[in-house]
Chains A and B, each alone.
Chain A
């Protein structure tokens, strides 16, 4: 039995599986619309569009 959490893409509304051991703040791509998303909460799972890249982002 899979314990994969699922959440709805806030942009295209598809239900998508969260990655294993998901973390709040984790980035993922919606497999349906391709949008980059952020995990906002885990109980219950909630996704939001990821923040836009800022000028000082990087490594």
Chain B
């Protein structure tokens, strides 16, 4: 296979998603090379690349980000692109992009000091959700119900956290009854969605949320496809709140997990990922 269309899959630990994606490529008789980020040495002085297309499946955001930038600079078509990973890996940048594109989102504020964060929280009104700008799987989310909790959490973040945790990303709490939607967009098209229901206000299936199929509709497709375009995402999973006033986009994930969504939706998500990447590689052949 010529270098300009050779497919690499950038990964490290193999979750069920990566295994299913490997299988999808093999079932289609398409060769790929695993690139383990733990063994990777990038020669920053070389502009050569042995790959034409890379599917990014890193578990570490920082490794994904830098490696995508490296390969994009060398003309490699990556899925997703560096810019997408950069935006989606940072909740502030995601909010900037979505709001700029006119995508409906919950009310979000950012403050840089404990004092200004308290002021922002009280202006928004309790309860609010405090989120780390960089983080996933619902890690370190805090629902703040009153001023006592706000002061305590802000102080803990300031004292115990790295400097990242002193960028206070504050989001209005959307009361959805422990339920939200996870929507999958590939190549600009909404292909499937699930409803996630939990006994807890955090609904991630990684934390025990239960998935069921969510029938697609035009409104959901419109908002999700616009959100994917706003971050220039090839393959993204979008977290959506359903409210009486319509859908709101919460987050956009660029290395999406879907293990609970294949049987649930009846959509061959790993197959569609493989086909999208294979088509990109063929277009470069």
Contact = CB atoms under 8 A, between A and B. Distances in A.
Interface of A: 21, 23-27, 38-39, 50-51, 54-59
B22 interface: yes
B3 interface: no
Nearest to A23: B14
B61 interface: yes
Interface of B: 11-15, 18-19, 22-23, 36, 59-62, 134-137, 139, 162, 237, 253-257
A54 B14 contact: no
B253 A59 contact: yes
Contact of A59 (B13, B19, B22, B237): B237
The 3 A-B residue pairs whose C-beta atoms are closest, nearest first, are A58-B136, A26-B14, A56-B61
Given A23-B22, A25-B36, A58 B14 contact: no
A50 B22 CA distance: 21
Contacts of B13: 25-27, 38, 50-51
Interface of A is mostly: loop
Contacts, number: 53
B137 A58 contact: yes
Nearest to B137: A58
Contacts of A27: 13-15
A23 B136 CA distance: 25
Nearest to B60: A56
Nearest to A24: B14
B4 to A, nearest CB: 27
A58 B12 contact: no
Contacts of A59: 136-137, 237, 253-257
A1 B102 CA distance: 59
A24 to B, nearest CB: 8
A56 B256 contact: no
Nearest to B36: A25
A6 to B, nearest CB: 19
Contacts of A23: 14, 18-19, 22
Contacts of A50: 13
B157 to A, nearest CB: 13
B60 A54 contact: yes
A19 to B, nearest CB: 8
Q: Which of A25, A26, A39, A58 has the most CB of B within 10 A?
A: A58
A23 B57 CA distance: 15
B19 A57 contact: no
15 contacts: A21-B23, A24-B14, A25-B11, A25-B12, A26-B19, A54-B60, A55-B162, A56-B134, A57-B59, A57-B61, A57-B137, A58-B135, A58-B136, A58-B255, A59-B256
A24 B36 CA distance: 10
